[in-house]
Structure 1
Amino acid sequence: MKNAIEVNGLRKEFKSYSSRSGLKGAFRDLFSRNYKVLRAVNDITFTVKQGEMVGYIGENGAGKSTTIKMLTGILTPTAGDVLVNGMNPHKEREAFVQTIGVVFGQRSQLWWDIAVQESFRLLKKVYKVSDEEYDRHMGHVIRTLDIEPLLDKPVRKLSLGQRMRCELAAALIHNPPLLFLDEPTIGLDVLVKLKIRDFLKEINEKYNTTILLTTHDLTDIEALCDRVVMLDEGHIIYDGALKDLKETWGEGKEVQFQFLEGVDLAVLENVTRELPVKWELEEKEQLFTAYTTDEANAVSDLIATVISSFQIKDVKIMEVSTEEIIRKIYEKGEV
């Protein structure tokens, strides 16, 4: 199986200018500027095989969007080599864009004031897609994403969920072998997210479409990706199977409590101070979550201790979530 993406020693640096204070400093800035070099992406190396669905994750400012912009040819790397679909995104621009689809959750590729179907027709001409090919492929995309009732509406009159489904359809007009998705489900409700996830799985299975997905919604990653690449301060700190990450870092249990009466977190922590437990409170729902170990009696000891002191309305025992695992890794700074 050949590689859809090959990245070797990729780096991107930006110059950040700082102004001197006061009138004298402003005058000096006219002749010489102070600046420092910020390294957004720091010598990363990875490959993505054709047909893979890979989650590219990290905190805000980790370098995810900068990487995507280099892989799609929007930004030129400071150093390193990039090969996407066998081409250099910056040197073979015209041929390259025919082989990729891009969806940025916070930017639109549709024309704001014209009907969705007119945007589709313009993109069809840009990508030189034949009428027959467009009807065959886009008919399926439009039905699956349920956007037929939206085609004659101007983009500015669509809700966020409606617009994102249309954006996804627009990125697939030329049926590209590689799809970049940068926060595609940001701000969407659960039903729209499920529809988009199901659709992405379908095009991956039907066309072997390679998908690189960046998102802060880890349920998207869990639903779609077997592999994750984790970025922190421009460095890759993990690249491998999601299940391996869970097996290595997912030690312990989450026990969630709801009480019949108001409980003070400090009192709860004091009652369980002898146990290997860490508490968190979700104030809005008054949910108390205890993180404890996998040791034989840890959960039963915890529940017994809590029940002896408080009246419980509900209790749930869960494996440690992917979100908690990722948080632990970032707190430590390495895998």
Structure 2
Amino acid sequence: MFAIEVNDLRKEFKIQKTREGLKGAVRDLFNREYSQVTAVKDISFQINKGEICGYIGENGAGKSTTIKMLTGILVPTSGSIKVNGYIPYKEREAFVKGIGVVFGQRSQLWWDIGVIESFQLLKKVYRVSEADFKPRLSELVERLQLADLLNRPVRKLSLGQRMRCELAASLLHNPQIVFLDEPTIGLDIVVKTEIREFLKSMNQRYETTILLTTHDLQDIEALCSRVIMLDDGRIIYDGGLAELKEKWGKGKDIIMRFAEAVQLDRLRELTQGMDVHWSADDEGTARVWIPQNGANVSDVLSRVVGVMNIEDIKITETNTDDIVREIYKSGSAEVKSKPALQDDSAQAAEEKGVNSHA
């Protein structure tokens, strides 16, 4: 059985049109007009138990609407959902015992009381026994470093402190599935790293299924092996992150700084027969561009390192942010766009090499 199963899910909203001016406002009181907006358009996917899946898209793509349907907050217009074997909006009481939810911009903690009091209230809400609650709370307090925060009112916490407490609150009842909607929004890099490490360890220890919605693609790279990409309410990609990079990556750029002046002809001679493109930044620095699925980086380096005196090497490749940006520009994650990216990069690199050599 899948942890999450979605088939032909659709959500439509009625939005009232507003007329301009006082007359328009009066008319709106007695004769309202509505337009229909489809936020999620017949999407289907399944998530296995114990999987960490990234659910990404631009603003308005339908991510949060999907999460709200999966957690039972919204009722679908059509299609079917099963989460933990339950239909979320129909079997609310039994369903919520097996899920945890963190919305980055909303709080499930009570603002004016101590954190520990919020935890105690949530224990009663989820009907967690004292025997299960104590060891679970102790583990979360230790792992998320909450000992100094338990007696503070939530309103006195920094954003990073509050998000650590929100995570603990969502996990007090040891849910099988956790929905995270922008859990690291507005946090500094140190807190983000701590939260990512914690989520990875929880997933490995308890096989907790995690659906992560975020605009921070570093969260996706750190946590997810699979990504579902949404655009205008439709899924345009569902697969492995490594596969996405393989399809859309432009290649690798290796910058080498040599101990003395270097000639591009000599470097081209050393890598003859390889699909690489050399260019020069200055007389002592050269770079080689290797197309995606082209020559092996170690093979290229072995030919040069054994002959030339190299002081420094830097390897860069297309990052996930660039890949996702390109996909949204094209409106599709089909492989057909890849050759154009490679050809453009190869041509640019070759032209740069010719100009530098000249």
TM-score category, normalised to shorter length: 0.7 to 0.9
Counterpart of 1:328 in structure 2 is 326
Q: CA deviation at 1:31?
A: 2.9
Structure 1: how far apart are the matches of 2:233 and 2:252? 31
Work out whether 1:75 is the aligned partner of 2:74.
yes
Work out whether 1:21 is the aligned partner of 2:20.
yes
* CA distance 1:36–1:154, shift in 2 (3 Å): same
RMSD over aligned Cα atoms: 2.2
TM-score of the pair, normalised by structure 2: 0.77
TM-score of the pair, normalised by structure 1: 0.82
Counterpart of 2:157 in structure 1 is 158
Counterpart of 2:120 in structure 1 is 121
SS at match of 2:12: strand
Counterpart of 2:44 in structure 1 is 45
Q: CA deviation at 1:190?
A: 1.4
Q: CA deviation at 1:196?
A: 0.9
Structure 1: how far apart are the matches of 2:6 and 2:276? 47
* CA distance 1:114–1:22, shift in 2 (3 Å): closer
Residue identity (%)? 63
Q: Which amino acid aligns with 2:8?
A: G
Alignment of 1:210-221 (within 5 A): 210-221=209-220
Alignment of 1:217-232 (within 5 A): 217-232=216-231
Counterpart of 1:307 in structure 2 is 282
Q: CA deviation at 1:29?
A: 2.5
Counterpart of 2:131 in structure 1 is 132
* CA distance 1:31–1:315, shift in 2 (3 Å): farther
Counterpart of 1:144 in structure 2 is 143
Q: CA deviation at 1:255?
A: 7.5
Structure 1: how far apart are the matches of 2:49 and 2:325? 30
Structure 2: how far apart are the matches of 1:26 and 1:167? 42
User: Which segment drifts farther, 209-218 or 16-25?
Assistant: 16-25
Q: Quick check: which has more Rg, 1 or 2?
A: 2
Q: Report how many residues are paired.
A: 292
Counterpart of 1:63 in structure 2 is 62
Unaligned runs of 5+ in 2: 256-273, 286-311, 334-358
Structure 1: how far apart are the matches of 2:140 and 2:148? 13
Q: CA deviation at 1:24?
A: 4.0
Q: Which amino acid aligns with 2:125?
A: V
Structure 2: how far apart are the matches of 1:95 and 1:319? 47
SS at match of 1:149: coil
Q: CA deviation at 1:34?
A: 2.4
Q: CA deviation at 1:297?
A: 4.0
Q: CA deviation at 1:18?
A: 1.6
SS at match of 1:181: strand
Counterpart of 1:93 in structure 2 is 92
Counterpart of 1:283 in structure 2 is none
* CA distance 1:296–1:3, shift in 2 (3 Å): same
Q: CA deviation at 1:14?
A: 1.1
User: Which segment drifts farther, 130-139 or 176-185?
Assistant: 130-139
SS at match of 1:41: strand
Q: CA deviation at 1:182?
A: 0.3
SS at match of 1:179: strand
- CA deviation map 1:16-54 (0-9, x unaligned): 222223444334323322221111111100011110000
Unaligned runs of 5+ in 1: 257-294
- CA deviation map 1:187-217 (0-9, x unaligned): 1111111111111111111111000000111
Structure 2: how far apart are the matches of 1:43 and 1:67? 11
Q: CA deviation at 1:163?
A: 0.3
* CA distance 1:119–1:23, shift in 2 (3 Å): closer
Q: CA deviation at 1:254?
A: 5.5
